[in-house]
Amino acid sequence: MADRIVVVTGGARGIGRAIVDRFAADGATVVIGDLTDPGEVGAGLDVAGHREWVPLDVTDETSVLEFAQSVEAGHGGVDVLVNNAGIMAERSITEESLAEWDLTMAVNLRGPFLMAKHLVPLMEGREGASIINMGSIEGLAANRHHAAYCASKGGVHALTRALAVDLGPIGIRCNAIAPGWIDTDLNRSYIERHPDREQVVADLARLHPVARIGDPADIAATACWLASADAGFVTGQVIQVEGGRTVRLSLPTALEP
Ligand code: NDP
């Protein structure tokens, strides 16, 4: 990834931060677009590349435009755009407010649209350019009370295919990663609110053929592969990185072997 300019939205923490660190370790210059300053972006890892933060609210077109101008002024272009920023709320459909529905759509789906709209001009003509959108296995199936999140991630998967078709002729690939259960703040609250945390972690692991939940580094490794020349013939795909969770059929506990 040496000499490559990589933009990661929501790169201050969680999966985004692991992607930032992985690309930087592989030698890229990484621009973190996030609401808040992650602070020690230069510290913590012995990386070959460079990391910096530029303020960004992916829901706001003015913010996205200013971000694009800043990246263009600082680096002249972009090779890889990772649309990772995302939010989730747990509500039944009757409890879901219009404001919360709209915010989920704005961050998870409008964000990748605005970022593609304003960063594609910086990616045109750069060999091996690609966009990676963060989808979810909840764009393919649903947990209860996740209607807005599931709808937004289904939209991300469809946007990915549409961008692959539109941008392929100008040399930009577009793929999505659909993570399963990854250990980040986004879903840690589910585990923390249960009195027997260890039991929940053990039960979660049992849902996965690989017998564990995911680590942000699992997603970062896939993002790096999708951005590499090794994935040069891969576009329009939704790559599930979920430890086999969606291929394991569930049984009542009493019937589990
Ligand atoms: P986290 O909540 O840990 O991190 C999300 C990051 O996005 C934060 O740094 C947050 O900033 C930033 N962000 C939120 N809103 C905006 C915005 N409007 N503009 C710019 N940045 C913003 O999430 P995860 O790392 O767990 O998730 C990352 C992505 O992966 C999301 O798209 C999520 O839907 C997806 N995903 C996650 C799964 C999981 O199990 N964790 C499973 C499947 C998909 P701040 O801290 O300032 O709020």
* Residue 255, in any domain of the structure: no
For 104-125, write each residue's pLDDT tens digit: 999 999 999 999 999 999 999 9
Compute, in angstroms, the gap from residue 156 CA to the centroid of ligand 1. 14
Q: Which domain holds residue 141?
A: 5-246
> In residues, how long is the chain?
257
Pocket of ligand 1 (CB under 6 A): 9-10, 12-16, 34-36, 56-59, 84-88, 107, 134, 136, 179, 181-182, 184-187
Helix (H), strand (E), coil (C) string for the chain: CCCCEEEEECCCCHHHHHHHHHHHHCCCEEEEEECCCCCCCCCCCCCCCEEEEEECCCCCHHHHHHHHHHHHHHHCCCCEEEECCCCCCCECCCCCCHHHHHHHHHHHHHHHHHHHHHHHHHHCCCCCCEEEEECCHHHCCCCCCEHHHHHHHHHHHHHHHHHHHHHHHHCCEEEEEEECCECCHHHHHHHHCCCCHHHHHHHHHHCCCCCCCECHHHHHHHHHHHHCHHHCCCCCCEEEECCCHHHCCCCCHHHCC
Compute, in angstroms, the gap from residue 83 CA to the centroid of ligand 1. 10
- Cα 135 to Cα 161, 171, 236: the distances in Å are 12, 22, 12
* Residue 256, in any domain of the structure: no
- 66: CATH: 3.40.50.720
pTM: 0.97
Please give the number of the atom of ligand 1 that sits closest to the Cα of 181: 40
The predicted pLDDT at position 201 comes to: 85
Compute, in angstroms, the gap from residue 254 CA to the centroid of ligand 1. 36
Compute, in angstroms, the gap from residue 251 CA to the centroid of ligand 1. 32
The predicted pLDDT at position 187 comes to: 81
The predicted pLDDT at position 42 comes to: 56
Compute, in angstroms, the gap from residue 201 CA to the centroid of ligand 1. 21
* Residue 49, in any domain of the structure: yes
Q: 7, 15, 114, 239: which to mutate for ligand 1, most atoms within 8 A of CB?
A: 15
Q: Whose CA is nearest to atom 48 of ligand 1?
A: 35
* Residue 252, in any domain of the structure: no
Instruction: Report residue 228: phi and psi, to 5°.
Output: -90, 165
Q: Look at the chain and report how many structural domains it folds into.
A: 1
The predicted pLDDT at position 26 comes to: 95
The predicted pLDDT at position 250 comes to: 87
Mean pLDDT, the chain cut into blocks of 10 residues (257 residues total)? 96 96 95 90 66 96 98 98 97 97 98 99 98 98 97 99 98 98 87 87 92 97 98 98 96 88
| Active-site residue (options: 8, 149, 160, 213) | 149
Question: Which residue type occupies 61?
Answer: E
* Residue 119, in any domain of the structure: yes
The predicted pLDDT at position 43 comes to: 56
* Residue 80, in any domain of the structure: yes
* Residue 254, in any domain of the structure: no
Please give the number of the atom of ligand 1 that sits closest to the Cα of 149: 34
The predicted pLDDT at position 193 comes to: 83
* Residue 39, in any domain of the structure: yes
Is 149 one of the catalytic residues? Answer: yes
- Cα 8 to Cα 121, 144, 219, 230: the distances in Å are 17, 29, 13, 20
